[in-house]
Structure 1
Amino acid sequence: MSSVLYDVPGPRARLRNRILGIATVLVVLALAGLAVWRMFATGQFTAQKWSLFTYTRPWLLLFEGLQHTLSAFVVAAVGALILGFILAVGRLSDHAWVRGPVGWIVEILRAVPVLIFMMILYYGLPVVGVRVDPYLAVVVALIAYNGSVLAEALRAGVESLPRGQKEAGYAIGLRKNAVMRLILLPQAVRAMMPVIISQLVVALKDTALGFIITFPELLYVIKLLGTQIDFGSPQVPAAIVGGTVYVILCLILSYIAYRVERSMRRSPKLRAAPVAIEGAGGDAVTMTEMIAVQRRGGRRRNG
């Protein structure tokens, strides 16, 4: 018995996989234990280093850095989604004079690293007399890079749909923009939702690059707290506390993505079984087209 992708492992293969799994877990635990032991040996868990976090001021600084991180991420995420939709529609255009330049824009924005983009905006533009705030430099760089990546994800999602979806929309009288807006993009977003969420997580973590251009986000505060000589330069404790905050943020974003994906699966418009319509090239038509047909018929009857 075999599946489509791989052969079902037999008894010897299952035993080998269990042994490899146990060995991997043991190696990871050994490395983690070694790291903890080295921290104890170098005094990273002494009371002097951790006493910094018994005061109110460090936590207020961390909260301010978290606010800056979240504000930059929210604006960048919304802007990247909007830019991604615009660039994806441009890449899918039937007009070469639109598709070509947009394709070059997407490739250039994807090729430039986020940090280089931030440094060009913050350090490069003042050379020509244009000064950019660190917050604006971080947000614009994140929007440009992540928007171009999301555009490619959405384009791939649209092109992966069966050709009959578009033809069925044209068959029931929908124009091209309506086919894209009502039929193709909703299904592409649902199919590429894991990719979209993972890219938003990347955008959240990339806000940490802003500390290089003096943007006072979370990593900037962590670095500041880790250089306090009066507390023995608690770099490791500060990194542990800040890293925990980043992990919590990513877990919250992943949970939100999980809830959104579940709600999309439960939506009757998105999970309805395809219905065959004659004249659509033999392909199935989703509930979206059926609703459009019903609305058109209702308007004709009312007219």
Structure 2
Amino acid sequence: MSQPNAVLFDELGPRGRRRVRTLTVVSAVVLVLVLVLAVVRLAQNGQFAYDLWAPLVDPTTEEFPLVWQRLGRGLLWTLAVAAVAMAGSLVIGVGIAVARLSLGRYGRLPLVAVVELFRGLPVVVTILYVSIALPVLGVDLSDNWFLAIGLIVYNCVVISEIVRAGVLAVPHGQVEAGQAVGLRPSQVMRSIQLPQAFRSMLPAIISQLVVILKDTALGAVVLNGVTELTRQGQQLRNFFDNALQTFFVVAVIYVVVNILLGKAAEVLERRLSRSRTASASAVAEDEESVRV
């Protein structure tokens, strides 16, 4: 029999729980064996040699300060490009979503075409196309700007779809209530629909912002002049001939930054939830005082 808290599936019985525990143990053992095998093979190939790791982890070496200076500069450029891409994607994405919802059936067709076009392109192709098309049009920028613009072009349409879905999920009764008190459609959108859409779609938006941060690494694949973290790692790899070690450290940096971004998103979401709860409580108290 289903338990009250079982939403998507029935509660497992004794046999099902035993099967899950068995599969969990087997999977953990297989994973540990694979990791041990990988460590052994790496050791046999000399990948744990001190000379390969020393420039990255030993502060007493002469190269250590220079290596982390390069990695730090790359991280700053990564954060700067990601911040520009995030801000541009949010602003343009919200604008596209609002325009698409506000225009008529035929007036929104150009926007629909643009959204479907850039959603269908791989982000690497978008970055490469921006870096080729803008110079042809007479726009002379650095590769870091081409990377930021390419990320904006791709991610703004994705964010526009997230925001549009959030706006459409707002109960229509609230829209009708806003119109009943004399609000114009633009005021209803700005004061009622968008705030609620952002609250409900915040996890999806944050996930897309994390994707933007990770996608900055694609600049090192298609652009030679970028100075972000992955490009710095490539240059260090070429100099020290320690690709596995260098990119292990680069990967750890990306993971730490993304974890911090996720924690910041959790804090923001909790604050928004508390403010929403406090507002609902205040409204309830006002209504109770009016009835009294």
Q: Would you call these one fold, judging by a TM-score over 0.5? A: yes
Query: Which of 13, 22, 29 is matched with 1:10 structurally?
Result: 13
Matches within 5 A, 1:213-292: 213-214=223-224, 215-228=226-239, 231=240, 233-268=241-276, 272=280
Q: Which residue is equivalent to 1:73? A: 82
Which amino acid counterpart does residue 29 of structure 2 have in structure 1?
Answer: L
Matches within 5 A, 1:38-187: 38-53=41-56, 54=61, 55=63, 56-127=65-136, 130-187=139-196
Aligned residue for 2:102, secondary structure, equals coil
Which amino acid counterpart does residue 226 of structure 1 have in structure 2?
Answer: R
**1:139 Cα deviation from its structure 2 partner:** 0.6
TM, length-normalised to structure 2: 0.88
Does the CA-based 8 Å contact 1:76-1:140 persist in structure 2? yes
CA distance in 1, matches of 2:279, 2:118: 35
1:166-211 CA deviation, whole Å, 9 max, x = no partner?
1111112211111111111111111111110110010000000111
Q: 1:35 to 1:260 in 2, by over 3 A?
A: same
Aligned residue for 1:79, secondary structure, equals helix
Which amino acid counterpart does residue 176 of structure 1 have in structure 2?
Answer: P
TM, length-normalised to structure 1: 0.85
Which amino acid counterpart does residue 220 of structure 1 have in structure 2?
Answer: R
Aligned residue for 1:92, secondary structure, equals helix
Aligned residue for 1:272, secondary structure, equals helix
**1:123 Cα deviation from its structure 2 partner:** 3.4
**1:121 Cα deviation from its structure 2 partner:** 2.1
**1:136 Cα deviation from its structure 2 partner:** 1.3
Q: Which residue is equivalent to 1:295? A: none
Does the CA-based 8 Å contact 1:90-1:98 persist in structure 2? no
Q: 1:259 to 1:18 in 2, by over 3 A?
A: same
**1:126 Cα deviation from its structure 2 partner:** 3.9
Query: Which of 35, 40, 50 is matched with 2:38 structurally?
Result: 35
Q: Which residue is equivalent to 2:24? A: 21
CA distance in 2, matches of 1:111, 1:96: 22
CA distance in 2, matches of 1:270, 1:151: 29
Structure 1 gap segments, 5+ residues each: 277-286, 291-303
Which amino acid counterpart does residue 146 of structure 1 have in structure 2?
Answer: N
Q: 1:180 to 1:187 in 2, by over 3 A?
A: same
Structure 2 gap segments, 5+ residues each: 288-292
**1:129 Cα deviation from its structure 2 partner:** 5.3
Q: 1:251 to 1:89 in 2, by over 3 A?
A: same
CA distance in 2, matches of 1:47, 1:4: 53
> Deviation above 4 Å: which 4+ runs of structure 1?
127-130, 273-276
**1:161 Cα deviation from its structure 2 partner:** 2.0
Q: CA RMSD in A?
A: 2.2
CA distance in 1, matches of 2:184, 2:134: 43
Q: 1:103 to 1:183 in 2, by over 3 A?
A: same
Q: Which residue is equivalent to 2:220? A: 211
Q: Percent identity?
A: 40
CA distance in 1, matches of 2:251, 2:151: 21
